[in-house]
Structure 1
Amino acid sequence: MMKNKQPMTLKRVIVDYKKLDNHMLNLLVEKFPDGYDDDDIVTYRNASNEVVECIEVRTEDTAYLVKVSKRLVMAMEDHEDTDTDTEADEERSLDTEGLENTEEE
């Protein structure tokens, strides 16, 4: 007889954009490569009864609610541009091994 597994409860973490690390920015850019829209926003009231808007990103054990702001959008775009620049540099690098082999023949 198999035992029923307890459903794993996710840790819930609220994160301000100022405290995002590269890992979290990567998760956001992967989940929202073209940005997020109104349907992606989760709204709740904090302890001060203020309305807070967030977008949710999940890992295996944690649900992160990242506070939405114009600065978050800029941080995601800047991070995406940095990743794109790195990938473009790698694509532009020449395969020198292939060139050397051609010259020897």
Structure 2
Amino acid sequence: MIRKIVDYQKLNEAILNLLVEKFPDGYADRDIVAFRNAQNEFIEAVEVKTEDTVYLVKVGKRLVQAMEDFEDGEDDFNNNNDSDNGNLDTIVEEDLE
């Protein structure tokens, strides 16, 4: 299974849909995975899965707001990703091997 780290700024409708489905009431501390990436940066993320990929979405205040906006039917979160059409491959910040 492929593991990918995704930043808030690279989220699109497909990954936000996965997040809202998994965490309809928001995520809690117990849902956060903490690790160091290849650049030795400390990362906190929540995990969502598809059939072949585990997405680790970096957490923060902006992620919470994006999830709330998405759930309310707003799509202000998607300013730069209008052409993505929900393609999960376009949101990857870095792959973990």
1:14 is matched by which residue type in structure 2?
I
Matched, 1:12 2:3: yes
- Name the residue aligned to 1:38: 29
Contiguous gaps of at least 5 residues in structure 2: 75-97
1:60 is matched by which residue type in structure 2?
E
- Name the residue aligned to 1:25: 16
Aligned residue pairs: how many? 74
| Distance in structure 2 (CA, Å) of the matches to 1:49 and 1:41 | 18
Could you say which structure has the greater relative contact order, defined with CA pairs below 8 angstroms and 6 or more residues apart?
2
| Distance in structure 2 (CA, Å) of the matches to 1:47 and 1:14 | 11
User: Which structure has greater strand proportion?
Assistant: 2
Matched, 1:55 2:46: yes
- Shift, 1:69, TM fit: 1.0
| Distance in structure 2 (CA, Å) of the matches to 1:48 and 1:42 | 17
- Name the residue aligned to 2:63: 72
2:42 is matched by which residue type in structure 1?
V
TM-score in terms of structure 2 length: 0.73
- Name the residue aligned to 2:73: 82
Larger Rg: 1
- Shift, 1:50, TM fit: 2.3
TM-score in terms of structure 1 length: 0.67
2:26 is matched by which residue type in structure 1?
G
| Aligned partner of residue 38 in structure 2, secondary structure | coil
The ranges of structure 1 where at least 4 consecutive aligned residues each deviate by more than 3 angstroms after the TM superposition are none
Matches within 5 A, 1:90-101: none
